[in-house]
Structure 1
């Protein structure tokens, strides 16, 4: 599908990443399309799996999770399902990337307190060694992909 994404599709994707709740008529106005043409393109992008969902951005501190950490996990085992089950059960793990290099996984975790974070890390430690970094700030929040240059 990537080769079929044109400049108008990228404009639509950019606008939807800024505001996933934008009315289709307003989206069409911003990308210079009729509402029906915009609707058709959005549905095509959804059907092709380019658009995978819509979600709200939540301020973690205001939601009661003032601690954000990046956790690296060295996982020596070959059975990853027990770890995947833990990640599914514990909603404090916001993101998980399987990576190359010394660490097998890089996770983003949030916690209500340092004791809470310690409990999460203890649960992860059953799968391998961990390295935890606390996040001071996020100068570049997730912004989604943009059209290739």
Structure 2
């Protein structure tokens, strides 16, 4: 799908505040509300915009620790481990990657004991390496659009 400068502006405005009223969004990009509505629909139908969401701080709801876990399934357990990772609700993101490890998972836990319990289960079918996140100098963001 081809993205023009106005589409880029719309996306940047929505990334800043996905709750912007249509009228305000239209004003910011210099178009009418119906034109912006049509563009947003086109961006959704084209798969550029996958949804509108909220950003909840895990710490604010009691998840004090964030970790990155590298997971290397034992031979013959790749699909079992993948399903196991998908079923752990504290895993908020997981990528299947190339290299020695097959998965890199982002995990949010309330305590080190909770982390140990989760890792003990995963370690029955895989080897893991865990790093506790101290800070996030770059939060999730899009690469330059266009």
Same fold (TM over 0.5): yes
Residue 145 of structure 1: how far off its partner (Å): 3.0
1:52 corresponds to: 50
Contact 1:71 1:132 in 2 (8 A): yes
Structure 2 residue runs without a partner (length 5+): none
| Structure 2 counterpart of 1:29 | 27
State the match for 1:119 in structure 2: 117
From 81, 90, 93, the counterpart of 2:91: 93
Q: Which residue of 2 aligns with 1:147?
A: 145
Structure 1, unmatched stretches of 5+, are none
Q: Is the 8 A contact 2:8 2:145 kept in 1?
A: yes
The alignment covers a number of residue pairs equal to 146
Q: Distance in 1 between matches of 2:31 and 2:143?
A: 22
Q: 1:14-37 CA deviation, whole Å, 9 max, x = no partner?
A: 111121111111111111111111
Is the contact between residue 63 and residue 108 of structure 2 (CA under 8 Å) also seen in structure 1?
A: yes
Q: What does residue 135 of structure 2 align with?
A: 137
Root-mean-square deviation (CA, aligned residues, Å) is: 1.6
Instruction: Give the deviation of 1:47 after TM superposition.
Output: 0.7
Q: Which digits, 9 at most, give the CA deviation of each residue in 1:76-131, with x for residues without a partner?
A: 44564433433333220010111111111111000010000111111221331100
Closer, same or farther in 2 for the Cα pair 1:9/1:127, shift >3 Å?
farther
Deviations 1:46-66 (A, max 9, x none): 111111112211111111000
For normalisation by structure 1, the TM-score amounts to: 0.89
In the superposition, the TM-score normalised over structure 2's length comes to: 0.91
- Looking at structure 1, the residues matched to 39 and 81 of structure 2 have their Cα atoms a distance apart, in angstroms, of 38
